Chain A
C-alpha cells in the first residue's frame, strides 16, 4: 500500500535551516509529482511546493520562494524540503503528498512532521 513517512522536523531558531525528508513506498515513486503542504497549529492547509515526477519543474508558494528548495532522489524514493532562513511563521506540521496520476490532486498524504521555530 502507498506509504509516505516524513521526518526531520524539530525545534529550530529563527534564521536557521532544516531539511525535511519524505520516504515513499508502495508505488513507483518516479511516476508521480510530489507536494509539500503545511498546516500551522489550529489553521488551514497551505500549499508549499511541488516537484514534477521527473524533477524537471518545481514551483513554490510566494511565502517560501527563495528560502525553501524542494528536491527528490528517486534512487532512494525520497522527497526533500530544504528550509533556510526560517521564520516564526514557518512553524507548522509539514505534510508530503503524492500527486494523483490525473487531476493534479494530492491523493496520498503522510502523517506530517512538526517544525517549531523559536529562540
Chain B
C-alpha cells in the first residue's frame, strides 16, 4: 500500500490552523473492521512520536489541538492552532497490510 501525503511542505503562522492530507492506494479497512491509520510527528533531531492511532484516537499526552479524521483511503490531520513547538515533519502510517509510511510533510513557521 502506497501512502501519499499533501502538501509536502506547509508554512503556517502561529495561532493559525494547519491541515495535512494522506491518501492510501487502497482501502485501509482491515478484515477485523478497524482502520489502522496513524499520524506521527518528528521534531528536528528527535525520534518520531505517536500522535494519533486508528484515524482519530489521540495518544496519551497529545494536545487536543491535534485531531484526525477520514475513512477508507482519505485521511486528514488537523492542528487547530499551530504553536512553535509543532514545527517538524508529520507522517501518516498504515498498518492494515504490512506497514508503510507516507513521505512526510514538513510544517514550518512563516
Q: Which residues of A contact B (CB under 8 A)?
A: 35, 37, 44-47, 50, 59, 61, 95, 97, 100, 102-112
B6 smallest CB distance to A (angstroms): 14
Tell me whether chain A's interface is mostly helix, strand or loop, or mixed. Answer: strand
Instruction: Judge whether A50 and B99 touch: CB under 8 Å.
Output: yes
Q: Which of the four size classes fits the interface of chain B?
A: 20 to 34
Picked from B48, B50, B54, the residue with its CB within 8 Å of the CB of A45 is B48
Instruction: Judge whether A45 and B36 touch: CB under 8 Å.
Output: no
Q: Which residues of B contact A (CB under 8 A)?
A: 34, 36, 38, 40, 42, 47-50, 53-54, 57, 59, 89, 91, 93, 95-96, 98-104
Hey, which chain B residues are within 8 Å of A105, CB to CB?
36, 38, 50, 53-54, 59, 93, 95
Instruction: Judge whether B48 and A103 touch: CB under 8 Å.
Output: no
Known contacts A35-B99, A47-B101, A50-B99: A106-B50 contact under CB 8 Å: yes
Hey, which chain A residues are within 8 Å of B48, CB to CB?
37, 45, 95, 97, 106, 109
Instruction: Judge whether A112 and B36 touch: CB under 8 Å.
Output: no
A61 closest partner in B (C-beta): B98
A31 smallest CB distance to B (angstroms): 16
Instruction: Judge whether B53 and A109 touch: CB under 8 Å.
Output: no
- Could you tell me the distance between the alpha carbons of A97 and B49 in the complex, rounded to whole angstroms? 10
Picked from B36, B50, B54, the residue with its CB within 8 Å of the CB of A107 is B50
B4 smallest CB distance to A (angstroms): 12
* Most chain A Cβ neighbours within 10 Å, of B34, B40, B89: B40
- Could you tell me the distance between the alpha carbons of A59 and B102 in the complex, rounded to whole angstroms? 19
**Across the A-B interface, the 9 shortest Cβ-Cβ residue pairs:** A103-B53, A104-B95, A105-B53, A105-B38, A109-B47, A47-B99, A104-B36, A44-B104, A45-B101
Hey, which chain A residues are within 8 Å of B36, CB to CB?
103-105
B52 smallest CB distance to A (angstroms): 8
Hey, which chain B residues are within 8 Å of A103, CB to CB?
34, 36, 38, 53-54, 57
Hey, which chain A residues are within 8 Å of B59, CB to CB?
100, 105, 107
Known contacts A104-B95, A105-B53: A112-B47 contact under CB 8 Å: yes
